[in-house]
Amino acid sequence: MIDKYALVARYSAPVPRYTSYPTAPHFSDAVDAGTYLSWLRQISRTDPVSVYIHIPFCDRLCWFCGCHTKHTTRYEPVRAYLGVLSQELTLLGEALGFKPQLGQLHLGGGSPSLLKSWDMEELRERLGDVFTFRDDAQISVEIDPSDATTDLFEALNVLGMNRASIGVQDFDPAVQAAINRPQSFEDTRDVANRLRAMGVHSLNIDALYGLPHQTLTTLERTMADVVSLQPDRIALFGYAHVPWMKKHQQMIDESSLPDSGERYRQARRAEAILKEAGYQQIGIDHFARPQDSLARAALDGRVNRNFQGYTDDPCETLIGLGASSIGKTRFGYVQNITATGQYMATVRSGALPIGRGLELSEDDIIRGAFIERLMSDFRVDMKAFRKHHGDAAATVLGEAAIAAQNDPDGLCHISGDSFEIPVDARPFARTVASWFDAYMKKREARYSAAL
Ligand SMILES: C[S@@+](CC[C@H](N)C(=O)[O-])C[C@H]1O[C@@H](n2cnc3c(N)ncnc32)[C@H](O)[C@@H]1O
Ligand code: SF4
Amino acid at position 217, single letter: T
DSSP, residue by residue, 273-322: HHHHTTPEEETTTEEE-TTSHHHHHHHTT--EEETTEEE----S-EEEES
**CB of 108 sitting under 6 A from ligand 2:** no
CA angle 65, 307, 215 (to 5 degrees): 40
**86 in a domain, yes or no?**
yes
**CB of 346 sitting under 6 A from ligand 2:** no
| 204 contacts 231 by C-beta, under 8 angstroms | yes
Same domain assignment for residues 5 and 36: no
Q: Is the pLDDT of residue 116 over 70?
A: yes
Burial 435-448 (b: 16+ CB within 10 A, else e): bbbbbbeeeeeebb
Same domain assignment for residues 124 and 150: yes
Q: Is the pLDDT of residue 1 over 70?
A: no
- Pocket of ligand 1 from Cβ distances under 6 Å: 58, 64-67, 108-111, 142, 144, 167, 169, 206, 208, 237, 239-240
171-228: pLDDT as tens digits: 999 999 999 999 999 999 999 999 999 999 899 999 999 999 999 999 999 999 999 9
> In the chain, what percentage of residues exceed pLDDT 70?
96
Q: Please tell me the distance between residue 65's alpha carbon and the centre of ligand 1 in angstroms.
A: 6
**350 in a domain, yes or no?**
no
**Phi–psi pair at 354, nearest 5 degrees:** -75, 125
Residue 367: give its domain's CATH number.
Answer: 1.10.10.920
**To test the ligand 2 pocket, which listed residue (54, 55, 57, 58) has its Cβ within 8 A of the most ligand atoms?**
58
Same domain assignment for residues 2 and 31: no
**45 in a domain, yes or no?**
yes
Residue 125: other Cβ atoms inside 10 A: 11
**244 in a domain, yes or no?**
yes
Predicted confidence band of residue 108 (pLDDT cuts 50, 70, 90): very high
Q: Which of 65, 277, 275, 73 is nearest to 167 (CA)?
A: 65
Same domain assignment for residues 442 and 315: no
Tell me what pLDDT residue 440 has. 87
The alpha helices in 32-166, defined as continuous H runs, are 33-40, 76-96, 117-130, 150-159
**How far lies 314's CA from each of 20, 87, 107, in Å?**
15, 28, 18
DSSP state of 27: -
Q: How many domains does the chain have?
A: 2
Tell me what pLDDT residue 99 has. 97
**342 in a domain, yes or no?**
no
Tell me what pLDDT residue 7 has. 75
**Phi–psi pair at 30, nearest 5 degrees:** -65, -25
CA separation for the pair 222, 209 (Å, rounded): 10
Q: Please state, rounded to an integer, the average pLDDT across all residues of the chain.
A: 94
Q: Is the pLDDT of residue 233 over 70?
A: yes
Q: Please tell me the distance between residue 408's alpha carbon and the centre of ligand 1 in angstroms.
A: 36
**29 in a domain, yes or no?**
yes
Residue 297: give its domain's CATH number.
Answer: 3.80.30.20
Same domain assignment for residues 403 and 414: yes
> What's the predicted TM-score (pTM) here?
0.95
**Phi–psi pair at 142, nearest 5 degrees:** -85, 130
Q: Which domain holds residue 311?
A: 25-321
Same domain assignment for residues 104 and 210: yes
359-382: pLDDT as tens digits: 999 999 999 999 999 999 999 999
Average pLDDT over residues 259-287: 96
Amino acid at position 211, single letter: L
Predicted confidence band of residue 443 (pLDDT cuts 50, 70, 90): very low
Same domain assignment for residues 40 and 116: yes
Same domain assignment for residues 234 and 306: yes
Same domain assignment for residues 178 and 56: yes
CA angle 429, 320, 21 (to 5 degrees): 25
| 315 contacts 101 by C-beta, under 8 angstroms | no
Same domain assignment for residues 2 and 87: no
**278 in a domain, yes or no?**
yes
37-82: pLDDT as tens digits: 999 999 999 999 999 999 999 999 999 999 999 999 999 999 999 9
**226 in a domain, yes or no?**
yes
Handedness of CA 139, 54, 319, 388 (dihedral sign): negative
